[in-house]
Amino acid sequence: MKFSIELKILIGFLAGAVILWLIFGLGDTTGNTIDNVFLTNGNANIENIDPIYTNAMINAKTYGLVDQSIQTSVIPELFFATYIGTNVKSLKVISQKSIGSTEISNIFSNYIFITNSTIEIMKKYGIVRTADASVLNANFQNYNVASIQSMLSERERIPQFAAYDYTIELHTAGGIERVHAIVMRALSSATGQPYKHLRWVVSYVYH
């Protein structure tokens, strides 16, 4: 049986779509996402980090918040420094609970972009020469209020949207530490894909 050129193109397109779905879909679990962010010591897949954080970093130079543009390759290291800060040898998920709009709103109303550890990484790459962490964090919050609200509204309208608060036990060289990680569904295109795809992302970490 001979196929027309148009049909061959359609078959090829569908096959490519299936392959991409397998690549993004099968590895897209909350467990894999948590492992990738916590256990890679600053080398996580940027797609596993909340686009609210990555978007703010990518646009920081445009807003005049930093001296040099922040490359996407550096963002996982900045996120790790901001929220984790020490090499994690292994981890254990203790519990999880679903959270709703009120909890999510509270998290992002005072979202942390910058800490002293973040500043040190930024200095290493020449992103800032000198900066006060609290002042810079406040500036990031002020300049990203509208985008945070827009991105949260967009993801919460998705029928498959869900958000969880995970209690995680981290095993580090310094001992055992318990933290909470907020993991949620988000539309992400952080690595420059020509489309947005639904993924689990780590949004926030707190003690």
Mean pLDDT of the 123-144 span: 96
Q: What is the pTM of this model?
A: 0.85
C-beta of residue 177 within 8 angstroms of C-beta of residue 87: no
Mean pLDDT for the stretch of residues 127-149: 95
Query: What CA–CA distance (Å, rounded) separates 17 from 108?
Result: 34
Q: What is the pLDDT of residue 74?
A: 97
12 or 205: whose pLDDT is higher?
205
Q: Where are the alpha helices (DSSP H) in 59-157?
A: 75-83, 101-109, 116-124, 133-143, 145-156
Query: What local confidence, expressed as pLDDT, does residue 28 receive?
Result: 83
Least confident of 13-17, 37-41, 53-57, 128-132: 13-17
Q: What is the pLDDT at residue 198?
A: 87
Q: Look over the chain and give the mean of its residue pLDDT values, rounded to a whole number.
A: 88
Angstrom CA distances, 77 to 14, 18, 21, 89, 148, stand at 36, 31, 27, 17, 21
pLDDT at 195: 58
Interval 68-116: pLDDT, tens: 999 999 999 999 999 999 999 999 999 999 999 999 999 999 999 999 9
